Amino acid sequence: MSKEGDSLVRVEDLKIYFPIRSGIVIERHIGDIKAVDGVSFEIKRGETLGLVGESGCGKTTVGRALLRLYDPTEGRIFFEDKDIATLSGKELRQLRRRMQMIFQDPYSSLNPRQNVGNIVSEPLKVHGIGGRNVEVQVRELLGTVGLPKGSANRYPHEFSGGQRQRIGLARALALSPDLIVADEPVSALDVSIQAQIVNLLEEMQEEFALTYLFIAHDLAVVRHISDRIAVMYLGRIVEVAPSAKLYENPLHPYTKALLSAVPIPDPVVEEKRERILLSGDLPSPANPPSGCRFHTRCPFRQQERCDDEVPELRPLADGQVVACHYAEEIQAGAIKPRLTSATEVPVVAAG
């Protein structure tokens, strides 16, 4: 048994490209969607790493790649010491037992024609463990995630969204995994139910010594549950920081903009907040901008380096890494955000 604190997952320069094909009979390869383009990070044993970013930034693709649901185009993914990217057959199956996933949509991620008992016991059967005790195990699991007695014989449609998410979690816990990739596990739920599931995830982590990769777009939830947070933009990680630090001291301009856009449920705070509004939309990942990918929307963009030189992730303040050429200057206030026309103002006071 390894100690807490060493790395459970290590990703090195991961690239996942989805080919774009054209033509009817003979499909020509005309380009790639660069969903993930050179991502490196590690997840320590027992920690929760939050992965945030807007839709299309590649965060889900990274999560699925960790379970080898996609074959990486390039790069390596280490689970303990084994490179998942090159494993196959029996070895891969054995490793998969130790990593599970929970999904965003509690309606489409459970088979409507199977009862809850079957859904939760399926991983046990697939991996040939449990034997005669399966029923007992399933009942225990369902109890652990807070489902009422007798749930095993009922069907998914009889449960509410929050309860279904509990079923999904019970299924993920069945094989007592080390790593759970949670892909937007609470975004489809109402706020009062969200809190129930967030708390349950935290309890389960403590009870079963789980490691989470928590993927979500809701920064407040991610900040609440994560130890460290990685921010993604257009296929690359732009900043990694301890979650306590991220809000206080964001270093990358994109992180600053993202944080300032999250509404805070307090009208007094909202009134005096500084808001960095980004102009325009996310560029296409098929043809990402040169240099720093954020330069087309960055309010701090400079004449030099930003357009043509790709910034690498580099350590800055304690525990924080950032991919921005001018992070220090922005931090020191030497570079000011630029202002544009009224409808595209990058910086305005809210209210």
Partner 1 sequence: MSLLSVRDLEVKFVTRRATVHAVSGISFDLDAGETLGIVGESGCGKSVSSLAMLGILPKPAGRVTGGEVIFEDQDLLKLPDWQLRSIRGQDVAMIFQDPMTSLNPVLTIGRQLTESLRKHLDMDRKDAEEEAIRLLFRVGIPSATDRLGDYPHQFSGGMRQRVMIAMAISCKPKILIADEPTTALDVTIQAQILEVLKQLVAEENMALILITHDLGVVAGVCGRTIVMYAGRFVEAASTKELFARPRHPYTLGLLKSVPRLDAARKDKLEPIDGVPRDLTKLFEGCAFAPRCAYATEESRERRPELVETDAPGHFVACWNPVPDADLPRIETIPVPTAREAAG
Contact residues for partner 1, defined by CB under 8 A: 54-55, 160, 162, 190-196, 198-199, 202, 217, 219-221, 223-224, 247-248, 257-270, 272-275, 277-278, 280-282, 337, 343-345, 347-351
Shortest distance (Å) from residue 272 CB to partner 1: 5
Distance CA 330, CA 167 (A): 46
Q: Please check whether residue 75 is in contact with residue 85, taking contact to mean a CB–CB distance below 8 angstroms.
A: yes
Element at 257 (helix H, strand E): helix 253-261
Q: Which is nearer to partner 1, 13 or 344 (CB)?
A: 344
Q: Which is nearer to partner 1, 129 or 350 (CB)?
A: 350
Shortest distance (Å) from residue 278 CB to partner 1: 5
Shortest distance (Å) from residue 264 CB to partner 1: 6
Q: Which is nearer to partner 1, 169 or 175 (CB)?
A: 169
**How distant, in Å, are the alpha carbons of 15, 120, 124, 337 from that of 170?**
32, 6, 12, 47
**Cβ atoms < 10 Å from Cβ of 251:** 23
Q: Which is nearer to partner 1, 209 or 264 (CB)?
A: 264
Q: Which is nearer to partner 1, 34 or 59 (CB)?
A: 59
Q: Residue 148 burial (CB < 10 Å; 0-12/13-18/19+)?
A: exposed
Shortest distance (Å) from residue 274 CB to partner 1: 5
SS3 assignment, position 339: coil
Shortest distance (Å) from residue 328 CB to partner 1: 18
Q: Please check whether residue 252 is in contact with residue 323, taking contact to mean a CB–CB distance below 8 angstroms.
A: yes
